[in-house]
Chains A and B, each alone.
Chain A
Amino acid sequence: MTFGRMETEFRAKRDAGRKLLVPYITGGLAGWQQAIRAAADAGADAIEIGIPFSDPVMDGPIIQEASQRALESGVTPVSIFEEARELEVGIPLAVMCYYNTVHHAGHERFAYQLLSAGISAAIVPDLPLEESGPWCIAADAAGIETVMLAAPTAPDERLPRVAARARGFVYSVGLLGVTGERASLAASATALARRLKAITDVPVLVGVGVSNAEQARQACTVADGVIQGASVVRRLMDGGPEAVGDYVAEVRAAIQH
């Protein structure tokens, strides 16, 4: 099997002993492009660009608020793709979007839109394995890597099937719940990452509820890396792009030890 750009880079970095760091940034939020550049300069290995949606059921208050602000300023998926094309940050880009955004555009058209915007991968949190077939066919054909989510509720027999369909990496959901900052890393975060590491060679990244540098370090004692969402987006809203850069540098330093 040949891997896509993101999985190729992630495997190589992992095999060289590097922990992977993927900050999430809401597309179209004020300062989002500068924040992506700052994160890339500070040691991010890929960026997850959130496509704002009217009904983000997997998101807690911070990312809901960011999405709402972006939508109110007139942002659309197409305007985000156009601006993403100008980024040229040297690391892979992924989108996080709800399935209706894909469904409405049409699978082939959406895959092509990602491709022409220079985006490597897609994460669709409300498209579980059983419903993913038609999108995956279009994504595979266009060379877009579809990241699959694995949840703590999955029985053992399900995880290998999820991992087998994952491209880029497996998104190991850190807790039962939606995105948002938590005081401590849930025990389920390392438990699920450990179960996944035991059954797959695809890079395993923990996301949802990884809220600071120390929690990222803890998750990386088991996982190949982390995705950080709410803690990044809050810094962009409160402190602007430099605050994002500083934070990513801090997490980078923490997970590399």
Chain B
Amino acid sequence: MSIMAEPSAEGRFGEFGGRFVPETLVPACQELEAAFREAWADPLFRAELHQLLKQYAGRPSIITECHNLGRKLGIRLILKREDLNHTGSHKINNVLGQALLAKRMGKTRLVAETGAGQHGVASATAAALLGMSCKVYMGAVDVERQALNVFRMKLLGAEVEAVHSGSRTLKDAVNEAMRDWVATVGETYYCLGSVMGPHPYPWMVREFHRVIGDEASAQCRELLGGSDPDFIVACVGGGSNAMGIFSGFVDTDARLIGVEPAGGAAVGRGMPGVVHGMRSYLMQDEYGQVQEAHSISAGLDYPGVGPEHSYLASIGRAEYPTVTDAEVIDAFQLMARSEGIIPALECAHAMAWIAREAPSMQGKVVLMNLSGRGDKDVAQMMEILG
């Protein structure tokens, strides 16, 4: 059996996960779990999703070997190009799956939270395509630093609400989306953007992103004459792009590396806690108040992490190092100048770890998930780089 199997009946991965939601939402979570189980076992649903991923999102995404950077760093560097998906990131895989499910469940309205805006854009896109209304909650800090994506969401017909409570970032956007869901649970589908939240979200979102790892595994074997990479590296906010690519390699000998921002290191600096419906590693103070994360990247500016990552960390199957904002700014430019690819600030974290650790990986094959493109970050980088 795979290390990344189905969670227990209570939605646990080891001691992590669960369903810590207000009583009002318990029936909705149970209904969602049943609907997902049924849809995921239905060949017609799978075929419909496959068709959308292929003809709308542009899957399969290619892999690209980075010869210039590889030479510079003394490794073989391969990118999984989720940046080339429609809407510009991996987020569309999950959103198309959930939006089809929402439709199947007879829901007419999508609610989503977003950090960098990529999940919000993907949700707005799916809502436009499938004829649903869409409301996106976004921290006021993020509304400012990801203004391009805010306008994209509005163009796509979504309503964007800036959240002014707490740290005014992703954590608070999740709170507000949950408050909306509690009040509108009959007609609303909560389209959660990462492998987090109450059961079944962490499992369901991972299954919708599994396509990243499945494709990459086959593509790497073709490129590498049948063998697997030595390292699989991805950035971790809630952890969906990392889960997606890990799922293709978790049962190989490859080392799995999830890179967290130094200012939002749930695994590195947190301890088990419960927020947003799940038990997982969480940055918190001595009384259990959730601490604010601080990261240059809106998509990783989150004090928690998906529960299956906590599980993989607890059994030693995956590692969760951190990189600093300064290292990320360097990596962002390094990738642009060496390869002609402008990465999203989120996955520039994965690049930063690879660049820093390359001396200890000489001659190794490193697969990095390039989870999104950097267009949304250009204005922010213009300010930082002057």
What is the interface of chain A, defined by CB distance below 8 A to chain B? 53-58, 60, 64, 68, 71, 76-78, 99-101, 103-105, 125-131, 148-155, 158, 162, 173, 176-178
Give the number of residues in B that approach A within 8 Å (Cβ atoms). Answer: 38
Binary interface encoding of chain B residues 138-174 relative to chain A, with 1 for a CB under 8 A from any of its CBs, else 0: 0000000000000000000000000001100001100
Interface of B: prevailing SS: mixed
Q: Is the CB of A126 within 8 A of B273?
A: no
Q: Is the CB of B290 within 8 A of A99?
A: no
Q: How far is the CA of A130 from the CA of B21 in the complex (A)?
A: 10
Q: How far is the CA of A101 from the CA of B289 in the complex (A)?
A: 7
Task: Please name all residues of chain B whose beta carbon is closer than 8 Å to the beta carbon of A99 when the two chains form the complex.
Answer: 20, 274
Q: Is the CB of A177 within 8 A of B288?
A: no
A-facing residues in B224-281 (Cβ within 8 Å): 272-277, 279
Partner of A126 from the list B10, B20, B166 (CB cut-off 8 Å) is B20
- Which of chain B's residues has its CB closest to A75's CB? B287
CB distance from B351 to the nearest CB of A (A): 31
Q: How far is the CA of A155 from the CA of B30 in the complex (A)?
A: 12
Q: How far is the CA of A58 from the CA of B184 in the complex (A)?
A: 13
Q: Is the CB of B182 within 8 A of A176?
A: yes
A-B pairs, top 9 by smallest CB distance, nearest first, are A104-B288, A177-B183, A151-B24, A151-B23, A54-B289, A149-B23, A54-B290, A100-B288, A100-B274
Q: Is the CB of A100 within 8 A of B182?
A: no
CB distance from A78 to the nearest CB of B (A): 7
Partner of B20 from the list A77, A131, A155, A176 (CB cut-off 8 Å) is A131
A-facing residues in B161-201 (Cβ within 8 Å): 165-166, 171-172, 175, 178-179, 182-186
- CB of B18 within 8 A of chain A? yes
- CB of B26 within 8 A of chain A? yes
Question: Known contacts A54-B166, A128-B21: does B28 contact A176 (CB below 8 Å)?
Answer: no
Q: Is the CB of B273 within 8 A of A153?
A: no
A-facing residues in B332-349 (Cβ within 8 Å): none
Question: Known contacts A54-B290, A64-B165: does B273 contact A100 (CB below 8 Å)?
Answer: yes
A to B CB contacts below 8 Å, 15 in the list: A54-B166, A57-B175, A58-B182, A78-B287, A100-B273, A100-B275, A100-B282, A103-B272, A126-B274, A128-B20, A131-B20, A153-B26, A162-B23, A173-B23, A177-B183
Q: How far is the CA of A134 from the CA of B140 in the complex (A)?
A: 38
Q: Is the CB of A151 within 8 A of B22?
A: yes
Q: Is the CB of A153 within 8 A of B184?
A: no
Partner of A103 from the list B175, B185, B274 (CB cut-off 8 Å) is B274
Q: Is the CB of B287 within 8 A of A104?
A: yes
- Which of chain A's residues has its CB closest to B172's CB? A55
Q: Is the CB of B22 within 8 A of A126?
A: yes
Q: How far is the CA of A173 from the CA of B28 in the complex (A)?
A: 16
CB distance from A234 to the nearest CB of B (A): 17
Q: Is the CB of A176 within 8 A of B185?
A: yes
CB distance from A85 to the nearest CB of B (A): 18
Q: How far is the CA of A125 from the CA of B178 in the complex (A)?
A: 13
Partner of B24 from the list A60, A71, A155, A176 (CB cut-off 8 Å) is A176
Task: Please name all residues of chain A whose beta carbon is closer than 8 Å to the beta carbon of B284 when the two chains form the complex.
Answer: 100, 104
- CB of B81 within 8 A of chain A? no
Task: Please name all residues of chain A whose beta carbon is closer than 8 Å to the beta carbon of B282 when the two chains form the complex.
Answer: 100
Task: Please name all residues of chain A whose beta carbon is closer than 8 Å to the beta carbon of B289 when the two chains form the complex.
Answer: 53-54, 71
Q: How far is the CA of A176 from the CA of B184 in the complex (A)?
A: 7
Task: Please name all residues of chain A whose beta carbon is closer than 8 Å to the beta carbon of B287 when the two chains form the complex.
Answer: 76-78, 101, 104-105
Task: Please name all residues of chain B whose beta carbon is closer than 8 Å to the beta carbon of A53 when the two chains form the complex.
Answer: 288-289
- Which of chain A's residues has its CB closest to B9's CB? A130
CB distance from A111 to the nearest CB of B (A): 15
- CB of B19 within 8 A of chain A? yes
CB distance from A135 to the nearest CB of B (A): 11
Q: How far is the CA of A77 from the CA of B284 in the complex (A)?
A: 14
CB distance from A160 to the nearest CB of B (A): 14
- Which of chain A's residues has its CB closest to B279's CB? A103
Task: Please name all residues of chain A whose beta carbon is closer than 8 Å to the beta carbon of B20 when the two chains form the complex.
Answer: 99, 126-128, 131
Q: How far is the CA of A130 from the CA of B272 in the complex (A)?
A: 19
Given A100-B290, A101-B288, A125-B23, 13 further pairs, Cβ under 8 A: A55-B276, A57-B182, A100-B282, A125-B22, A129-B23, A130-B19, A130-B26, A131-B20, A153-B25, A154-B26, A158-B26, A176-B183, A177-B179
